[in-house]
C-alpha cells in the first residue's frame, strides 16, 4: 500500500488528480493537505466522504509543524499541487505567491528529505520558460519567467531540483501547459468565459486576443503525473503539452458557437500587464518515455462546456461569494 501526500487536492487539478489516483490505483492511500484558500473547495471531493483510503487535512504547506505531523504518519509519494495560481492576482499582490509557491515548497522538500520519501513530484508550469514567438521550449532551455506567479513557480521548480542535486531527494518536475476541464475555479479563461456566457454576460478578451496558449485536458494532465510517479527519472524535468495551440479569440469564438450565443458577447478589454504572447512546449521527452495525451481538443472542450452547463449549482455558489467582489473590482480597473 503506497501512501500519497497530495497537496492542493481541493483545487482544480488536485481534486481531479485525487479522483484519478483513487480510481486507478486500488492499492493506495491519499492524504490531501489543503489550506482551503479562495480556490480550494471541498465540494470538488464530496463523493469521497465515505472513502476509507482518503483523508483530508486542512493546513498550510508552509506550516512546518503541520507538515511534520503528516510525514510522521509515513508518506511514500508527494505530489505538490498546492500553489497560488492566478497570474492576474499575482500582478495585483505577489505576497501569497512567495509564501506558498516558494516557501511552502521548501517546507515540503525539507520534510521529504528528513523522512526519506520514495518520490517527490513538483508540479511546475510551462510559464517558467516565459514567452516564445516561434518554436517550442525544451526542458533544457533557460527559464525566463515574466510575472510574479511564474517567477515564484520557477523558484520552486529550481529549489526542488536543488534537493535532488544536493541531497539526492528523488524529485521529478513537471511543466504542463494550460489545463481546462471540470472543477476549474471560474477566474481562468475558459471557466470564466463559459460561466459568463451561461449568465448572459460577455467574455472579456485581453488585448487583441491573439495570445497563444497550448490547451491540455485536465484528465490527460492527471494521467501524465501518475505515469511519471513510476516512470519519471529522478532529477529530471518533463514538459507535459496538450499539443493544442490556439489564440484566445479562436477559443472564445468556439465557446460562443457551441453554446449558441451571439458573437457580440466577445468584448475586448484592457490587456494584462506583461502579458506573455505565446507558450509552446516540445514534449518529445515524455513521448519517448511512453506517454502522450489521449483527448481530442474539441471533444474535451465541448464536454467541459457541457459539464459547466450541468453543474450550475457548483459555479454559481462560487460566483455569488467572494469572487463577485474581486471580479467587480477587476472589471472596474479595466
Ligand atoms: P487552483 O488554484 O485551482 O488550486 C490550488 C489549491 O492549492 C487550492 O485548493 C488551494 O486551497 C490550495 N492551496 C493554496 N495555498 C496553499 C497552501 N499554502 N497550503 C495548502 N494548500 C494551498 O490551482 P490549479 O489550477 O489546480 O493548479 C494546481 C497546480 O498546477 C499549481 O501548482 C499550478 O501552478 C500548476 N499548474 C496549473 C496549470 C493550469 O493550467 N491550471 C498548468 C500547469 C501547472
Ligand atoms: O500555462 C500554464 C498556466 O496557465 C498555469 O501555470 C497557471 O496556473 C494558469 O492560471 C494558466 O495561466 P494563464 O495566464 O495562461 O491562464 P489564464 O486562464 O489566466 O489566461 C489564459 C489566456 O487568456 C491568457 O492569454 C490571458 C487570457 N485571458 C484570461 C482571462 C482570465 C483573457 O483574455 N481574458 C480573461 O478574462
Grid cell digits, residue 333: 480597473
149 a catalytic residue: yes
Q: What is the pLDDT of residues 99-156, one digit of tens each?
A: 999 999 999 999 999 999 999 999 999 999 999 999 999 999 999 999 999 999 999 9
* Mean pLDDT, rounded, for 74-93: 98
Among residues 113, 137, 133, the alpha carbon closest in space to that of 124 is found at: 137
How high is the pLDDT of residue 332?
A: 61
247 a catalytic residue: no
How high is the pLDDT of residue 334?
A: 58
Rounded to the nearest integer, the mean pLDDT of the chain is 97
pLDDT tier at 333 (50, 70, 90 boundaries)?
low
In the chain, the domains with their CATH numbers are 2-330 (3.40.50.720)
The CA distances from residue 250 to 126, 130, 177, 246, 253, in Å, are 21, 22, 17, 6, 5
Closest C-alpha residue for ligand 1 atom 5: 11
How high is the pLDDT of residue 321?
A: 78
Pocket of ligand 2 (CB under 6 A): 85-87, 125-127, 177-178, 188-189, 192, 204-206, 211, 213, 248, 272, 279
* List of residues 6+ apart from 181 with CB closer than 8 A: 12, 16, 217, 218, 219, 300, 304, 307
Spatial contact of 127 and 178, defined as CB atoms under 8 Å apart: no
Q: What is the pLDDT of residues 154-204, one digit of tens each?
A: 999 999 999 999 999 999 999 999 999 999 999 999 999 999 999 999 999
Per-residue pLDDT for 93 more than 90? yes
Among residues 12, 51, 37, the alpha carbon closest in space to that of 97 is found at: 37
The DSSP result for 282-294, as a single string, is: --HHHHHHT----
pLDDT tier at 262 (50, 70, 90 boundaries)?
very high
Amino acid at each position: 500500500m503506497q501512501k500519497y501526500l497530495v497537496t492542493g487536492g481541493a483545487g482544480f487539478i488536485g481534486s481531479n488528480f485525487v479522483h484519478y489516483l483513487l480510481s486507478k490505483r486500488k492499492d493506495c492511500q491519499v492524504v490531501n493537505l489543503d489550506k482551503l484558500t479562495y480556490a480550494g473547495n471541498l465540494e470538488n471531493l464530496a463523493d469521497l466522504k465515505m472513502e476509507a483510503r482518503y483523508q483530508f487535512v486542512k493546513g498550510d504547506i508552509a506550516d512546518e509543524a503541520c507538515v511534520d505531523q503528516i510525514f510522521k504518519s509515513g508518506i511514500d509519494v508527494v505530489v505538490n499541487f498546492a500553489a497560488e495560481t492566478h497570474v492576474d492576482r499575482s500582478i495585483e499582490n505577489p505576497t501569497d505567491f512567495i509564501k506558498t509557491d516558494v516557501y511552502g515548497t521548501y517546507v515540503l522538500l525539507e520534510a521529504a528529505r528528513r523522512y526519506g520519501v520514495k518520490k517527490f513530484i513538483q508540479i511546475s508550469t510551462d510559464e517558467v520558460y516565459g514567452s516564445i514567438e516561434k518554436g517550442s521550449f525544451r526542458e533544457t532551455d533557460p527559464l525566463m519567467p515574466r510575472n510574479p506567479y511564474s517567477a515564484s513557480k520557477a523558484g520552486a521548480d529550481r529549489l526542488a531540483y536543488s534537493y535532488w542535486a544536493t541531497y539526492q531527494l528523488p524529485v521529478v518536475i513537471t511543466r504542463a501547459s494550460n489545463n481546462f476541464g471540470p472543477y476549474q475555479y471560474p477566474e481562468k479563461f475558459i471557466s470564466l468565459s463559459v460561466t459568463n456566457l451561461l449568465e448572459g454576460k460577455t467574455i472579456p478578451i485581453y488585448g487583441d486576443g491573439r495570445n497563444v496558449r497550448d490547451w491540455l485536458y485536465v484528465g490527460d494532465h492527471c494521467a501524465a503525473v501518475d505515469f511519471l510517479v513510476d516512470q519519471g527519472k529522478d532529477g529530471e524535468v518533463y514538459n507535459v503539452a496538450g499539443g493544442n495551440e490556439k489564440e484566445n479569440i479562436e477559443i472564445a469564438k468556439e465557446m460562443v458557437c457551441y453554446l449558441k450565443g451571439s458573437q457580440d458577447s466577445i468584448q475586448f478589454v484592457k490587456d494584462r500587464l506583461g502579458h506573455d504572447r505565446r507558450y509552446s512546449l516540445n514534449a518529445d521527452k515524455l513521448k519517448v518515455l511512453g506517454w502522450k495525451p489521449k483527448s481530442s481538443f474539441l471533444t474535451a472542450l465541448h464536454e467541459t462546456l457541457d459539464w459547466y452547463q450541468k453543474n450550475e449549482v457548483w459555479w454559481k455558489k462560487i460566483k455569488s461569494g467572494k469572487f463577485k467582489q474581486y471580479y467587480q473590482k477587476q472589471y472596474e480597473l479595466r
